[in-house]
Amino acid sequence: TSPEDVPLSLTGCLFLTANAIFSSVMFKNTNVTLPALSIFPSLSIITTKFIGTTGLESSGTESPSIIDAILAIGLWLEHTDHFVSGPLDPTDYLQLLQTLSLVSANCPDPTLRHAAHILTSNILHAHPTDRLRLNFISDTLEHCPFEPLRASAVGWLKEELVRAHTRKSDDLFATPAAVAALQPYLFPYESILDAETDSELWEDFRRTFPFHMAALNLIFFLNSEEYKSLVPEGSMSVVEEIYLQPLRAARTRLEKVLKVGGELEKEVGGEEAKEGLAEVGLLGERLDMCVEQRS
C-alpha cells in the first residue's frame, strides 16, 4: 500500500486549509500556498459537507472546531473579495445563507454565533439582486422558528434601508415597497394577549423578546425624519392598532404579575421575576419612545 492509496480525510483537509489561511494572515507567512477558493461555489460546497448533514435543523450543533474552521475560511474569502467564480445559482446562494443563519441561531458558542451572523449578513448584502435579498429576509421573518434569527432579519432590513439611502440607489429598499412587503411579518397582530394564563403569557414573552425589541427599534428608526419616506402611507396607524397596543397591554399585565407579591412572582421565584421585570421594563421604554416620537 502506498500513501496515494490512503484516502484524504475531509476534516483534515478542512483544518489544513483553515490553518494555511490563519498562518498567512496572522504571521504574514508568504511561504504558504493558499487554496484557490471562493464563497461560491467553494464555501457553499464545503458547508454542505459538514453542516446540517442530518437535517437543516441540526445546523450549528456540529463540533465547534469544524464550525470555527468553516467560518474562518468564509470570513477570509469575504474580506479578500473572493465572492464568486463562475455562474451563481440562486438556489446555492439561498441554501448557504439559510445554513449559516441557522448556525448563528443554534451554535452554543456566542463567538461563533456572532461570526456566523457577520458572515451571513455580508453575503446577503453582497448579492446584486435586490428582490432576492428581500425574499430571503421575508422568508426568514415569516417561517423561521428562532426568534433571535427573526430579530437578525429585522436588522438586515434596516441595514439594507441605510445602504440604499446612503448610496442613493434606486432599488426596492430605497422605496416604501420593501417595508410594505414585509409589514405583515415585521408587525404581526400580537396574539400573546390570547394566552389564558399569566404563565403562558410569560413564556411567550420570553421567547419573543429579541424579536419585539428589534421590531420596536425599527419602528423608531422608520419614524425618523431621514427615513420616514420609506414608510407606506397610513401603515403606522395600522401598526399602532394591531401591534403596539397589544404589546402595551401585555407589558401592563406582566408588570402587575411579576412585581413583588404578584401571582407570577410567587410561581417563578424572585430572581427570575426580577430579571423578567427588567426585560419588560426595557420593552416598555422602547414602546414609550415610539409613542412619544409619533406624538
Question: Would you state the cell numbers that stand for residue 205, as one nine-digit string?
Answer: 414573552
Strands (E), 70-130: none
Structural contact between residues 253 and 183, judged by C-beta atoms closer than 8 angstroms: no
Alpha helices in 127-231 (DSSP H): 130-143, 147-167, 177-186, 198-222
SS3 168: coil
State the distance between the two ends of the chain, measured CA to CA, in whole angstroms.
Answer: 80
| pLDDT at 293 (0 to 100) | 85
pLDDT band for 31, please (50, 70, 90 cuts): confident
The answer to whether 229 touches 200, Cβ cutoff 8 Å, is no
User: The dihedral of CA 227, 116, 94, 78: what is its sign?
Assistant: positive
Cβ-based neighbours of 225, under 8 Å, separated by 6 or more: none
Percent of the chain with pLDDT over 90: 85
The answer to whether residue 195 scores a pLDDT higher than 70 is yes
Helix, strand or coil for residue 1?
coil
pLDDT digits over 12-27, tens only?
999 999 999 999 999 9
pLDDT tens column, 225-275: 999 999 999 999 999 999 999 999 999 999 999 998 888 999 999 999 999
Percentage of the chain with pLDDT > 70?
98
- Could you give the count of Cα atoms lying within 13 Å of 185 in the half-sphere of its Cβ? 22
